[in-house]
A and B are shown apart, each in its own frame.
Chain A
Amino acid sequence: MFYNVYLKNLKDMRNNLIYWFVGLITLSFYLSFAYSSFAQNIGAFDELINSFPEELLHFLGASDGLDMSTFGGFLNLEIFGVIGPIMLVVVGINTGTNIVAGELNNKTLELVMSTPIGKNNYLFQQILVMITRIILISLFIWFSFNLFGRIFNLELDLKNFSATIVHLSLLGLFFGCLSLFIGSLTGNKSKTLGISTTIAIISHFTNSISPLINSVEKLKYISIFHYYKTSEPIINGIDISDGFITSALCIILIALSFFSYKYLDLN
C-alpha cells in the first residue's frame, strides 16, 4: 500500500471513509424512516413550508418552493439544501488544504519532495486522491439513500437523484481545487482554511440573497452555489452548462495550482 503517493493517501483515509460511511448510513436511515413515518400527512406539511417567506426558502436552498410530496423533494430540502453542501464543502476544503499547505504545516513535505517524485507528479497524485475521496463520499450518499429508500418503499427518481449527487460532487471538488490553489500559493494552512471558508460562506450568502434584491440580482452568477442547485437537478436532471462551468473552474484552479506550486518555497 505504500508504493506511491496515491496509494499511501488512500490507505491514510481508509478509517476516515469508514466513519463517513457509517455516519451517512445512520443519517439516511434516520431521514428515510422519518419521511416514511410522516409521508401520509405530507400535504399539510407541504402547505406549511410553502407558506414560508421567499427569503427563508432561499436560505433553505429551495428558491422554487418545496415539494415534500416526494422523497426526492424531501431530500432536496434536508440533504441537498444545507447539510449536503456543508459536508462536501468541508471535505473539499479539508482535502485541498492538506495537499500542500497541510503537509508543509506538518513538515512532512520537505523530505517527500527531496525524492525524485517531482512537484507535478506529487500534485497530480494528490489531486487524484482528492477526487477519489469526494467521489466516494458522494457515492456513499447515493448508495445509502437508495438503500433505505427501497427498504422503506420510498419513491426516488434515480436519474435526477444521481444528477443532484453529481452537482454536489462538483461543488465539493470546486472547493477542494480552490483550497489547493490557495495552499499552493501561500503554503500556509491557516490562511488557506480561512480564505477558503470565507469564500464558501460569502458565496453561499451571495447566492441566497442576491436574487431577492433586484439591483444585485446578477451577483448570483459569481457564486458557485448558483451552479450547484439553482437549476434544481433533483427535478430537471443534470444541467450541462452549470456542470460545465463548475468543471471548467476546477480545471482552471488545478492549472493555477500546478503553476503556483512550481514556484512555492517549501520551508
Chain B
Amino acid sequence: MSNIVQVSNLTKYYGKKLGIENVTFFMNEGEVYGLMGPNGAGKTTSLRAMLNLILPTSGEAIIFGKHFKELNKAELSQISYLPGEFEMYQNLTGEQYLNYISSLRSATVNNTNILAERLDLNLNSKIKTLSKGNKQKIGIIQAFMNNPKLAILDEPTSGLDPLKQQEFQNIVQEQNNLGCSVLLSSHILGEIEDLCERVGIIKNGNIVASEQISDLKNKTIKKYEITFENAPKISDFKNVENISKLELQGNTITLNIKGTIDILLKVISKFTVLNLRIIEPSLEEIFLTFYKE
C-alpha cells in the first residue's frame, strides 16, 4: 500500500509565535486518517500548511508522490478541502456556489444532487438564508461531489445534528469504499474512532502519536480487574512496573497498567485466578492520557 500523503517536519511560525512544529505523519492510499486535538492544538494550521494555503516555515507535504507545489491541475482537482472556518458567497444559492467550485476544479463528475438529497438540503435557497448546519452540509457536499481521490476535512460535522452526523459518516465510508482517502481533523473523538483506522494526536503544535488506534490502545493505560480465590496482599504487586490505581476489594483487585503486563502475569500466576477482565480504554481516555502527560 503506497502513501498518498507524506507530511515531514512541517513547521510554521507566525513571527516568533509557534503554529506547528515538525508535524510528521503519513496516510496510506484508501485510508481514513484522523487528526485529533483540542481547539488551538494546530490541526487547522497543519492542514493549511499541507495545502500551501499558508506557507510553511520549513518541512514539506508530499501528496500523490509529489511535492504539493509540483502537483498539476488534474492532480489538484482530485483533492477536495473543507475548511474549518467555512463561509460562502452569501448572494449565491447553494447550487450556484457548488457549480462555481466544481468549475474551478474543472470537474467532470458531479454528485451534487444525490448528496443534497441524502443530507436533506434544498440547494435553491440563497446561502444567506441558510442555518449553520445547512451551510455545513454544502461544505460536505462540495468535499465529495466530484469524487475526489483525497478529501481533507477540517471539523466536518460542526453544526450538524446527530442524524446528519451519522449520514456524514455513511458518506465518508461509501466514498472511502470508492477509493477516496480521507484526512479527518476533529476534536470529536467518537467520530474519529468510528471512521479512522489510524490517528495522529496533535498537542501544542506537535504530533505526539501517529498510529493505529488498536496500537495506541495497547500502548496506553489499560484497566485490569482480577478476581482471586484468596485475596493477595497489595504489597505482592509492588514490583509490577507502570502500575497505578491499585485497589483491593474483597478478593478482587483493580489496577491500571501502561504497556507490558509480563510482570503482572508472573505475579498473579502465584495465585488462583478465578476471573480476569481487561477493560480497553476508549479513544477519549487515550487522548486524555496524552494531554495529561
Interface residues of A (CB under 8 A from B): 2-5, 8, 12, 106-108, 110-117, 263, 265-267
Counting CB contacts under 8 A, is B234 at the interface?
no
Give residues 41-90 of B contacting A (CB, 8 Å).
44-45, 48, 51, 53-55, 73-74, 76-77, 79-83, 85-89
Chain B residues in 8 Å Cβ range of A5: 104
- Among A5, A113, A115, A116, the most chain B Cβ lie within 10 Å of the Cβ of A115
**Would you call A12 and B91 a contact (CB within 8 A)?**
yes
**Do B87 and A265 have beta carbons less than 8 Å apart?**
no
By the criterion CB–CB under 8 Å, are A114 and B53 in contact? yes
Q: What residue of chain B has the Cβ atom nearest to residue A115's Cβ?
A: B104
Among all A-B residue pairs, the 7 with the closest Cβ atoms: A116-B76, A107-B87, A114-B81, A115-B104, A265-B54, A2-B100, A116-B73
A93 to chain B, nearest CB (A): 21
Interface centre among A2, A8, A114 (most CB of B within 10 A): A114
Give CA–CA (A267, B84) in the complex, Å: 11
The A interface, classified by DSSP as helix, strand, loop or mixed, is: loop
Quick check: A2 and B96 within 8 Å, CB to CB? Answer: yes
A106 to B92, CA, bound (A): 14
Set A3, A107, A111, A265: member contacting B103, Cβ < 8 A: A3
**Contact A115 B86, CB 8 Å, known A266-B53, A266-B54:** no
How many interface contacts (CB-CB < 8 Å) are there between A and B?
Answer: 68
Query: How many positions in chain B have a CB within 8 Å of any CB in the partner chain?
Result: 33
B101 proximal to A (CB < 8 A): yes
CB <8 Å contact, B73 and A267: no
A267: which B residues are within 8 A, CB to CB?
44-45, 48, 53-54
Query: Knowing A12-B89, A108-B88, A110-B85 touch, does A115 contact B54 (C-beta < 8 A)?
Result: no
Tell me whether A114 and B142 are in contact (CB under 8 A): no
26 CB contacts below 8 A, A to B, read A2-B92, A5-B104, A12-B91, A107-B83, A107-B86, A107-B87, A110-B81, A110-B83, A110-B85, A111-B86, A112-B101, A114-B53, A114-B81, A114-B83, A115-B101, A116-B73, A116-B74, A116-B104, A117-B104, A265-B14, A266-B48, A266-B53, A266-B54, A267-B44, A267-B45, A267-B54
